[in-house]
Chains A and B, each alone.
Chain A
């Protein structure tokens, strides 16, 4: 089924560990983005990409890296995990930033 696939669904990390959250879409969407969702704060943009080879920072980019080598994939890297990065992470894609969005099912990350 066409859509946005996020892996893993759940992850527990120790402080200081690094990991990559994977996001892939098969709809040939140019626009992809990563958000974190925290209680009482709504969804906040971490990084986004308007096409392969192009990325930019969102509202809360510190501690995260992204790259976009292909149209399909947009991985999010945590360089050195901190407890403040405990959150639910969503990836989303869109034909363009002005079109409708498709969201992945989310990754629940706990940093201890």
Chain B
């Protein structure tokens, strides 16, 4: 069992829909990261959070430390949001990142 699990693996939505990607982890963490990777592109850090909720534009990330769960929400989705979204955690046992396998999001016009 992976230490970081994401769901769903693939997600297709229509433009304008509200999207949720989930991340569960089984280790103690000091921070959780949401990353975005466009096809053939580099990796961009969207959020780093250790508690509560953060918002940037149409993106919202939440974390529940007790339940070891985080969600990434996209409001009013747009085709340019199509990308792979990756959840990663920094474990309390060290400074290394452990990654989920990613969620492939496709937003159709």
Chain A residues within CB distance 8 Å of chain B: 31, 33, 35, 40-45, 48, 50, 58, 90, 92, 96-106
- Give bound CA distance, A106 to B41, whole Å: 8
Closest to B42 in A: A105
Contacts of B96 in A (CB 8 A): 33, 45, 48, 58, 97
Do A102 and B101 have beta carbons less than 8 Å apart? no
Does B101 lie within 8 Å of A42, measured CB to CB?
yes
Q: Output the least CB separation between A13 and chain B (Å).
A: 20
Q: Encode B21-36 as 1/0 by CB contact (under 8 A) with A.
A: 0000000001101010
Q: Which residues of A contact B45 (CB under 8 A)?
A: 100-103
Count of CB-CB pairs between chains A and B under 8 Å: 55
The 9 closest A-B pairs by CB, nearest first: A97-B95, A103-B43, A105-B42, A42-B101, A43-B99, A100-B48, A42-B99, A98-B30, A100-B45
Cβ–Cβ contact B95 & A98, under 8 A: yes
Chain B residues near A104: list those with CB within 8 A. Answer: 42
Q: 25 A-B pairs, CB-CB below 8 angstroms?
A: A33-B96, A33-B97, A35-B99, A42-B86, A42-B99, A42-B100, A42-B101, A43-B97, A48-B95, A58-B96, A90-B42, A97-B96, A97-B97, A98-B30, A98-B31, A98-B95, A99-B48, A100-B33, A101-B45, A101-B48, A102-B45, A103-B43, A103-B44, A103-B45, A104-B42
